[in-house]
Structure 1
Amino acid sequence: MKSAVETLNPTRAKLTVEVEFAELKPSLDAAYQRIAKQVNIPGFRKGKVPPPVIDRQVGRGVVLDEAINEALPKLYVQALEENDLQPLAQPEIDITRFEDNSTLEFTAEVDVRPTIDVPAYDDLTIQVDDIVVTDDEVEEQVQNLRERFATLKDVERPVQDGDVVTIDLVASKGGETVEGGEVNGYSYKVGSGQLIDGVDEALTGLSVGEEKTFQSQLLGGEAAGEDVDVLVKVSSVKEQELPEFDDDFAQTASEFDTAEELREDVRTRLERGKRLEQAAAARDAVLEKLLDSAEIPLPEATVGAEIAGRRQEIEQQLMYAGLTMEQYLDNEKQTVDEFEADLEKRVRDAMAAQFLLDEVAKKEQIGVDQAELSQHLMRRAQQSGQNPDDFVKHMVEHNHIPEMVSEVVRGKALAMIVEGATVTDASGNHVELKNLRPDGTIGEPEAQADDAAEAADEGSEKDSAGE
């Protein structure tokens, strides 16, 4: 077989392949065998019909077509390997010349990975925001903790913000109750914003037994997004009694002996969370800086297909949530054009990041061992809420393991670059990333290889998803 490649543009190539007829003999023999098992010809057992008889009874052309269909995928892959091309989509194959006992010639046009000049990444300098935990943030967490241990008591007064009420809701349109628009005995915390618009305002000031009608839009059902009249009636009003934040509470709610120790633990946990946010910001800044300094052409057809796939996923998720795209855009304060532009940017950035990190991994000869892959699969299973065994089985059966390997490799490549960068906060302090654990603590260097890989792994998943 002879093959030649023509570069149509930085992301598309055209292969021209010539195959001597003798090289098609294995596929031709296999075609005769398959056809022999399918036809019934008097005087011959099934599967034992000789080729000359098949040629007369079925037709030589049918056999040749069968042989070509069987041979083309293998010949195409062989040509890709010979020319060191990495396809990104299905090829457009055209048989340009073929006759019986003559040379087969075909062309294949396909989107391919572009050749990238990887920019220098050993002297990057990045600045991120300082870690600041305010007293208000600590108090908010303390308040949330107190609310977890709060008790409820009935009160004989009008509803106030923060009360827990039991209500009945009836949505109607044109005087008729909307199907699925009636709820009885629903427990709701006023001011939480977890119900339809307008309900908090309608409830405030009502007493037990009182009702009020207001206009709103339902979030799901046949009338989703339409204006409806909603009648809300209050059947009970309870207020939260929060425990005092003292030493007794600390001993009940935690392993600490004093309220001050618990408060300090809350502050420490907030600091750890912000340290992880700071690390994520550093990772994003490093990747953005690399992408800005690299020329990475993208295949437009592949980009378009990815955008369409992402859009369909979003629409399906909204459908399951009972929302229309119009409602989603309204909630996000986005226009259609802004949504499309944001989606396209995320897809392009994610694809460019994958190409770049793959080249870095290739240059640095970064690999993945079984333990790293297993750890990554377990984490992905947890994130998706699936049973780990079922998740791994699905990945294997649908040939997604190579994708998982690529995610780990890219994560390790990005972690290597980030750890080699000079990262400081706005105050000029060094930001420790190399020994940062996934829980936000800083560990000893010799004990952090696995934790660093895990943190990088999580970052890679976001990059691959275009987040």
Structure 2
Amino acid sequence: MKSTVETLSPTRVRLAIEVPFVELEPSLKKAYREIAQQVQIPGFRRGRVPAAVIDQRVGRAAVINEAVQEAIPAQILAAVREHDVKMLGRPELETFPELEDGQPLKFTAEIDVRPEIALPDLSTLEISVDELQIADSEIDEQVKGLQERFATLKTVERPAQDGDYVQIDLAATVDGEEVPGGSATNISHEVGSKQLLPGLDEVLVSMSAGDANTFTSQLVGGDFAGRDADVSVSVRTVKEKQLPALDDEFAQLASEFDTLEELRNDLRERVTRVKKVEQLYAARDKALAELVRIADVPAPEGVVREEVDHRKQAMADQLERIGASLDEYLAAEEKTEEQIDTELAEAATEGVKIQLLLDTLADAEDVQVSDDEFGHEIMHRAQRAGVQPQQYYDQLVRAGNAGAVFGDVRRGKALALVMDRIKITDAAGNELNMDDLRGGSAEHDHDHDH
């Protein structure tokens, strides 16, 4: 086999490969064996059909075509190894080669490759994030959330107001025809929450227990999606939400603390921890974006296309799981499919650039992944998937994705190197300590996909 490599761009090469016909002999023999297993010819047992008979009944050209399809991937891989090409994604044949019997196999394939990336000195990189500030109003909001959780509902004999809870019956019709699934009885609803049909909350205000009314609402799903429906609503009860007083007794009810001051101090500590982690994530994202910019990392087009396809499929799967369609999602987001495609392409391009950057850093720093580290990641992902670790690992191996998980772990370690070496300051000029900021961030690091 002879091959040459031509650089088309920093992220793409063209391989020209020529294979003497004699070197295709193993592929030809395999093709004859496979065809012999597939065809049924009178007088011969399946799998025992001689080559000459196959040539006569099936055709030598069909055998050669089968052999070529089997040989091309192996020949590309051999050329990649010969020229030390750092291949990314799948090779693309410019045209499928036509092979004449006895003649050399000649073809060209284009391949995305890992670009050469010049890494900057990480210690010279300084990232600024927002200063950690906690207003009393934020703690008040936390306390209010607790207060809402311990609220009680009291039946009142008056018209409903925003914030009240009502028990209602609903029935929807379109042109006098009952809407499938459009009726519900004795459901609880908070007036003003906008959780149910558009127009419902406006009608409920001023309705009392025993009252009934009708309104028009546009349906967003089902057989009558987009149609106006006549909706009848009747109120069973009106209940007023009563909040407990904010005092030491409430603190003892809602927490393990004896006083309201102790509860507020604990909430302040919790908010502080969350904001420190947010600072860390902001620093991470800014650092990666700046490194990609400084290193001028290119994105291989083929790899980006594959990543876009993967993300679109993942989005479609997620919508299917929740019983929604793409059209419904687009309507809810008030976006077009073209806008979604553009967003996916931008996100995929940035993600691929970051992967390439971290892979280059991992190589430069000789980052290794231990069995324990890989096993820990498998266990974590298995827990999220709700399966046993061994079952999850076996599924990865069968799908050929174990290497991708290994790569994610290695990139995570390279990212940790970045965060250890850069300088992080807040808007006030205070230098932030990584050990302090890292607390509680492990879960997010697993979820952050680069």
**Is TM-score (shorter-chain normalized) higher than 0.5?**
yes
Matched, 1:431 2:432: yes
Shift of 1:97: 6.7
Aligned 8 A contact 2:88 2:303 in 1:
no
Kindly report the root-mean-square deviation, in angstroms, between the aligned alpha carbons of the 2 structures. Answer: 3.0
Matched, 1:195 2:196: yes
Question: 1:221-279: CA deviations, max 9, x gaps?
Answer: 22234433333221112223333344344334333333322221111111111111111
SS at match of 1:166: strand
Once residues 96 and 312 of structure 1 are traced to their aligned partners in structure 2, the CA distance between those partners, rounded to angstroms, is 32
Shift of 1:307: 3.4
Name the aligned partner's letter for residue 259 of structure 1.
L
Counterpart residue number, 2:276: 275
Shift of 1:161: 2.3
Counterpart residue number, 1:291: 292
Larger displacement relative to structure 2 (46-55 or 354-363):
46-55
Counterpart residue number, 2:14: 14
Shift of 1:365: 1.6
Shift of 1:424: 0.8
Counterpart residue number, 1:447: none
Question: 1:277-301: CA deviations, max 9, x gaps?
Answer: 1111111110111122232333335
Aligned 8 A contact 1:225 1:327 in 2:
no
Once residues 307 and 427 of structure 2 are traced to their aligned partners in structure 1, the CA distance between those partners, rounded to angstroms, is 37
Larger displacement relative to structure 2 (132-141 or 319-328):
319-328
Counterpart residue number, 1:206: 207
Aligned 8 A contact 1:224 1:322 in 2:
no
Once residues 225 and 403 of structure 1 are traced to their aligned partners in structure 2, the CA distance between those partners, rounded to angstroms, is 43
Matched, 1:462 2:448: yes
Change (3 A) 1:194 1:415: farther
Aligned 8 A contact 1:219 1:323 in 2:
no
Question: 1:166-212: CA deviations, max 9, x gaps?
Answer: 11122233333322222111112223332233322222221111133
Aligned 8 A contact 2:165 2:238 in 1:
yes
Once residues 384 and 247 of structure 1 are traced to their aligned partners in structure 2, the CA distance between those partners, rounded to angstroms, is 42
Question: 1:347-395: CA deviations, max 9, x gaps?
Answer: 2211211122211112112222222223223333444566655544432
Shift of 1:419: 1.9
Aligned 8 A contact 1:221 1:322 in 2:
no
Counterpart residue number, 1:343: 344
Matched, 1:68 2:54: no
Once residues 144 and 118 of structure 2 are traced to their aligned partners in structure 1, the CA distance between those partners, rounded to angstroms, is 53
Change (3 A) 1:315 1:172: farther
- Residues 116-265 of structure 1 aligned to structure 2 (within 5 Å): 116-265=117-266
Once residues 353 and 227 of structure 2 are traced to their aligned partners in structure 1, the CA distance between those partners, rounded to angstroms, is 41
Once residues 364 and 327 of structure 2 are traced to their aligned partners in structure 1, the CA distance between those partners, rounded to angstroms, is 46
Change (3 A) 1:69 1:366: same
Shift of 1:4: 0.9
Aligned 8 A contact 2:280 2:438 in 1:
no
Counterpart residue number, 1:87: 88
Once residues 99 and 336 of structure 1 are traced to their aligned partners in structure 2, the CA distance between those partners, rounded to angstroms, is 46
Q: What number of residue pairs does the alignment pair up?
A: 449
SS at match of 1:344: helix
Change (3 A) 1:256 1:393: farther
Name the aligned partner's letter for residue 8 of structure 2.
L
Larger displacement relative to structure 2 (211-220 or 73-82):
211-220
Change (3 A) 1:324 1:20: closer
Shift of 1:435: 5.0
Change (3 A) 1:385 1:51: closer
Once residues 362 and 404 of structure 1 are traced to their aligned partners in structure 2, the CA distance between those partners, rounded to angstroms, is 17
Once residues 229 and 320 of structure 2 are traced to their aligned partners in structure 1, the CA distance between those partners, rounded to angstroms, is 20
Larger displacement relative to structure 2 (198-207 or 60-69):
60-69
Once residues 331 and 20 of structure 1 are traced to their aligned partners in structure 2, the CA distance between those partners, rounded to angstroms, is 59
> How does the TM-score come out when normalised to structure 1?
0.85
SS at match of 1:8: strand
Name the aligned partner's letter for residue 397 of structure 1.
R
Shift of 1:320: 5.2
Change (3 A) 1:198 1:431: farther
Aligned 8 A contact 1:172 1:229 in 2:
yes
SS at match of 1:122: helix
SS at match of 2:122: coil
Change (3 A) 1:421 1:141: same
Once residues 33 and 329 of structure 2 are traced to their aligned partners in structure 1, the CA distance between those partners, rounded to angstroms, is 57
Name the aligned partner's letter for residue 8 of structure 1.
L
SS at match of 2:225: coil
Larger displacement relative to structure 2 (186-195 or 381-390):
381-390
Change (3 A) 1:124 1:322: same
Change (3 A) 1:322 1:200: farther
Aligned 8 A contact 2:252 2:258 in 1:
yes
Name the aligned partner's letter for residue 377 of structure 1.
I
Name the aligned partner's letter for residue 219 of structure 2.
L
Change (3 A) 1:439 1:192: farther
Once residues 14 and 113 of structure 2 are traced to their aligned partners in structure 1, the CA distance between those partners, rounded to angstroms, is 10
Once residues 80 and 460 of structure 1 are traced to their aligned partners in structure 2, the CA distance between those partners, rounded to angstroms, is 33
Fraction of identical pairs, as percent:
45
Aligned 8 A contact 1:88 1:113 in 2:
no
Once residues 340 and 32 of structure 1 are traced to their aligned partners in structure 2, the CA distance between those partners, rounded to angstroms, is 45
Larger displacement relative to structure 2 (25-34 or 321-330):
321-330
Change (3 A) 1:96 1:57: closer
> How does the TM-score come out when normalised to structure 2?
0.87
Aligned 8 A contact 1:92 1:108 in 2:
yes
Change (3 A) 1:120 1:394: same
SS at match of 2:123: coil
Shift of 1:164: 2.0
Change (3 A) 1:144 1:357: same
Change (3 A) 1:154 1:396: farther
Counterpart residue number, 2:370: 369
Aligned 8 A contact 2:123 2:423 in 1:
no
Larger displacement relative to structure 2 (88-97 or 229-238):
88-97
Counterpart residue number, 1:408: 409
